[in-house]
């Protein structure tokens, strides 16, 4: 087992592991950090990265947050969002990388090699598919989010949780548990959320920013995507499609597709929801969601992707029809919705 329970603090039972002590000690010793996460960053990636930034600043460390992709508008309110850089210069100024929510260093994007060349890589992640590639790994696939793992590390570091840290960690947990609807939303996620509220996170503000400020372009895109809604395997698999033409026509951005898959997941009888997005590079991005114990991570892994039991993603070469065929075949081959 990776973790054992020990004493409680601030009303939350912390899980400790030897690696947690080692990583905390290492962070205390190091001075200049690069903090980064995956391309097409979600709420957990961004919230964790910005929380890590504030934690490092709280420890009087130098910290730069690098992201290949722009922060989606719905997350721009998060404290620290404005310090993120999208160009990575020489990396010899850094002594340590904190790599968050990435099951593989390639998830960083085009600068993965450069990031990997920095002396020490600390990987904090909760993906089932993480194979422990980094020198220092804090991995627990049982954690609701990378934000939750970072929270454990903050406890070990003894850093005070400021409102700036609290709102970022709260956002990481809310978004990665699908607003506490996925099976990853266990008591630890709720306790953590309660503590973040005590420390200054405001759930109604976060909810409004993330879920209730949809630009009209997103709704126009949703409208046209819903025309593609289809069902397979007796209604247990539902899917929608977004093509490049739809994005052009509705003037929606790629970031406006986030969460569309959850609408399919919300349909009665659907066990697996699939969202197909036609990309510029001749591939199709496939987002997968499932209910209960139905495992879509096995499906994503088969196509070189990864993720979690109820939420995962992969990329397939070819057009949407080809991607659909392959996904449906694999759902059958792997008995994903059997029984
Ligand atoms: Mn995550």
According to the model, what pLDDT value does residue 131 have?
Answer: 82
Q: How far is the CA of 127 from the centre of ligand 1 (A)?
A: 7
**Below-50 pLDDT ranges, the chain:** 1-14
The parent domain of residue 247 ranges over: 216-333
Q: How far is the CA of 146 from the centre of ligand 1 (A)?
A: 5
Q: Per the domain annotation, does 339 fall within a domain?
A: no
Do 42 and 115 sit in the same domain of this protein? yes
Q: How many CB atoms lie within 10 A of CB 6?
A: 11
Q: How far is the CA of 45 from the centre of ligand 1 (A)?
A: 6
Q: Per the domain annotation, does 23 fall within a domain?
A: yes
Do 283 and 312 sit in the same domain of this protein? yes
Tokens linked to 204: 């109604």
**Residue 148 · residue 171 · CB < 8 Å:** no
Q: How far is the CA of 308 from the centre of ligand 1 (A)?
A: 9
Please report, in angstroms and rounded to a whole number, the separation of the first and last CA atoms in the chain: 31
According to the model, what pLDDT value does residue 338 have?
Answer: 73
For residue range 193-250, list pLDDT tens digits in order.
999 999 999 999 999 999 999 999 999 999 999 999 999 999 999 999 999 999 999 9
Report how far residue 140's alpha carbon sits from residue 83's, in angstroms, rounded to the nearest whole number.
Answer: 29
Q: How far is the CA of 55 from the centre of ligand 1 (A)?
A: 19
Among the candidates 181, 210, 239, a domain finishes at 210
Q: How far is the CA of 194 from the centre of ligand 1 (A)?
A: 19
Report how far residue 67's alpha carbon sits from residue 44's, in angstroms, rounded to the nearest whole number.
Answer: 13
Do 9 and 73 sit in the same domain of this protein? yes
Q: Per the domain annotation, does 338 fall within a domain?
A: no
According to the model, what pLDDT value does residue 2 have?
Answer: 32
**Residue 320 · residue 284 · CB < 8 Å:** yes
Distances 162 to 30, 57, 99, 171, 309 between C-alpha atoms, Å: 22, 11, 22, 14, 32
Q: How far is the CA of 249 from the centre of ligand 1 (A)?
A: 31
Do 109 and 258 sit in the same domain of this protein? no
Among the candidates 194, 210, 226, a domain finishes at 210
According to the model, what pLDDT value does residue 16 have?
Answer: 54
Q: Per the domain annotation, does 239 fall within a domain?
A: yes
For the domain that residue 103 is a member of, what is the CATH number?
3.90.1640.10
Do 183 and 250 sit in the same domain of this protein? no
Using a cut of 0.85, tell me whether the model's pTM lies above it. yes
Among the candidates 164, 193, 210, a domain finishes at 210
Question: What domain count does the chain have?
Answer: 2
Report how far residue 197's alpha carbon sits from residue 216's, in angstroms, rounded to the nearest whole number.
Answer: 30
Do 117 and 174 sit in the same domain of this protein? yes
For the domain that residue 251 is a member of, what is the CATH number?
3.10.310.30
For residue range 26-41, list pLDDT tens digits in order.
999 999 999 999 999 9
Q: How far is the CA of 124 from the centre of ligand 1 (A)?
A: 10
């Amino acid at each position: 087992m990776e973790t054992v329970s020990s004493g409680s603090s601030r009303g939350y039972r912390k899980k400790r592991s030897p690696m947690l002590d080692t990583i905390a000690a290492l962070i205390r010793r190091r001075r200049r950090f690069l903090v980064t996460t995956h391309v097409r960053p979600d709420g957990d990636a961004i919230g964790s990265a910005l929380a890590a930034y504030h934690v490092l600043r709280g420890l009087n460390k130098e910290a730069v947050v690098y992201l290949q992709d722009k922060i989606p508008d719905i997350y721009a309110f998060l404290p620290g969002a404005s310090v993120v850089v999208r160009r990575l210069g020489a990396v010899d100024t850094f002594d340590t990388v904190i790599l968050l929510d990435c099951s593989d260093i390639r998830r960083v994007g085009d600068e993965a090699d450069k990031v990997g060349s920095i002396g020490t890589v600390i990987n904090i992640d909760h993906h089932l598919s993480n194979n422990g590639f980094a020198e220092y790994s804090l991995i627990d696939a049982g954690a609701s989010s990378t934000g939750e793992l970072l929270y454990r590390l903050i406890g070990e570091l003894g850093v005070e949780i400021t409102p700036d840290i609290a709102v970022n960690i709260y956002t990481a947990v809310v978004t990665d548990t699908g607003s506490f609807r996925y099976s990853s939303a266990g008591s630890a996620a709720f306790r953590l959320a309660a503590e973040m509220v005590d420390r200054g996170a405001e759930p109604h503000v976060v909810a409004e920013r993330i879920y209730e400020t949809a630009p009209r372009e997103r709704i126009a895109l949703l409208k046209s995507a819903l025309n593609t809604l289809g069902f397979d395997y007796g209604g247990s698999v539902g899917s929608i499609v977004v093509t490049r033409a739809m994005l052009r026509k509705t003037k929606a951005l790629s970031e406006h597709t986030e969460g569309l898959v959850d609408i399919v997941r919300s349909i009665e009888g659907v066990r697996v929801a699939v969202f197909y997005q036609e990309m510029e590079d001749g591939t199709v991005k496939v987002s997968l969601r499932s209910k209960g114990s139905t495992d879509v991570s096995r499906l994503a892994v088969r196509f070189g992707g990864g993720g979690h039991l109820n939420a995962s993603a992969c990329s397939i070469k070819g057009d949407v029809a080809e991607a659909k065929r392959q996904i449906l075949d694999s759902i059958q081959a792997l008995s994903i919705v059997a029984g």
